[in-house]
Amino acid sequence: MANSLRLGIAGLGTIGVGVVKVLQKHGDKLAEKTGRPVEIHAVADLDRDLDRGVDLSSYQWFGDALAMAKDEGHDVFIELMGGSDGIALASVEAALESGKHVVTANKALLAKHGTRLAKLAEDNNVALNFEAAVAGGIPIIKTMRESLTGNDITKVYGILNGTCNYILTKMQEEGLAFEKVLAEAQAAGYAEADPTFDIGGHDTAHKLAILTSLAFGTELAFDEIYLEGIENIGIEDIEAADELGYRIKLLGVAQKTESGIEQRVHPTMVPKHTAIAEVAGVTNCVGVEGDFVDKIMLVGPGAGAGPTASAIVGDIVDIAWGIKLPPLLTRASELKPYQRAKMRAHEGGYYIRLHVKDHPGAIASIATRMAEQDISLQSIVQKGPDDRVTESGASEMTPVVLITHETTESAIRKALADISADGHVEGAAQMIRIESL
């Protein structure tokens, strides 16, 4: 049997402990499959005395992850500390520069520094694997780096954040307001005490940036992603979507156009009959469209100790087998500069919700403003009277829902600005893209 593959694990939180458990339970099976022992040599964490529920006594302990990254006692550095900079970045750089393979689940690190780290891995002839960084236990990175290389990928999209999907699912199934479901998600451990990173769409955007580079051979461009979270989705939007035959999902979408690459994260109405509409709770899914494969979709657990550890161990096994691909599929020196696509019409149209003042001619004026921007309306639905109470008494607002045909976002926003200036509406309009998928 070949020499053992020695591992150093930096970060012993939920995921790190999950990796230890998998390796301790299945170490013998991994050795049989790879032809060499796969063994933990060292671990790094600040708190050595914390009871983590696993036996760590036989491993060399480092209180400093950077020192472990530079240590010559192991072959693979597994970074599970998190964060886009600081000790995580310094440790990964040091490990690559010292000729160690790196496995990480850190999507923020990759979204910000992935292009440079990929080049560093290639320059030092080592692997940089990150299956667990996108969609947890779903093998989307391996699928794109290996199984789909014979395709010209045109679009990649998906539900990439379980917290948001859980919230939207609960709102839809139980008719609860966003704030109440968010509080329940925090109590259940699905959402952080500060949920901004998730519900604001940042987590989804980090993952989308990685998928975009893999799909289209471009440098990572997280800062170029149009970003909109779910914090403004109301129960009235959930109910309206249901009546119209849709579900609301937070999607990350990247697609190739004639003018460049389009990257966007935003709430989206998807038809009820589609597979993606049925993805509920904390489950993730990723869809890919290619010229030969047509359309595929992978669905599974997007987070959690078990699924994430499973993905990490899969990356380790690739290294044990001697599989070493360019981290971003295209060699770093050949990655194209990211070119943002020009504004174009959104094929699925838009859902717009307005609180319209109960004045004669208000609806007609709104329709006129839309027509001035060449926006064709599929429907205008006037809901029941708004039951809100203002300082002056009962509200005289009427909720109105508009569904447009294909149009550009700039046209929609200009029309809404004109409508607001006319004084016919109160508050900001709600606007959600509709995707046919």
Q: What is the pTM of this model?
A: 0.93
**For the chain, percent of residues with pLDDT exceeding 90:** 85
For residue 389, pLDDT over 70 is answered with no
Q: What dihedral do alpha carbons 212, 218, 219, 220 form, nearest 10°?
A: -10
Once rounded to an integer, what is the mean pLDDT over residues 12-40? 95
CA nearest to 357, candidates 423, 288, 262:
423
Q: How far, in Å, CA of 165 to CA of 161, rounded?
A: 6
CATH numeric code, 5-133: 3.40.50.720
What are the structure tokens assigned to 197, written together? 């990173």
- Say what the pLDDT of residue 394 is: 44
Considering only the C-alpha atoms of the chain, give the largest distance between any 2 of them, rounded to a whole number of Å. Answer: 85
- Say what the pLDDT of residue 22 is: 97
The answer regarding whether domain 350-434 maps to CATH 3.30.70.260 reads yes
- Say what the pLDDT of residue 395 is: 52
Say yes or no: do domains 140-301 and 350-434 share a fold. Answer: no
**Where residue 303 falls among pLDDT bands split at 50, 70, 90?**
confident
Once rounded to an integer, what is the mean pLDDT over residues 315-324? 96
Q: Catalytic amino acids? A: 207
Once rounded to an integer, what is the mean pLDDT over residues 268-285? 95
In sequence order, what are the beta bridge partners of 433?
268, 350
For residue 248, pLDDT over 50 is answered with yes
Once rounded to an integer, what is the mean pLDDT over residues 362-377? 93
Q: How far, in Å, CA of 265 to CA of 244, rounded?
A: 22
- Say what the pLDDT of residue 387 is: 53
CATH numeric code, 140-301: 3.30.360.10
Q: Where in the chain are the domains? A: 5-133, 140-301, 350-434
Of 92-101, 304-313, 376-385, minimum mean pLDDT range: 376-385
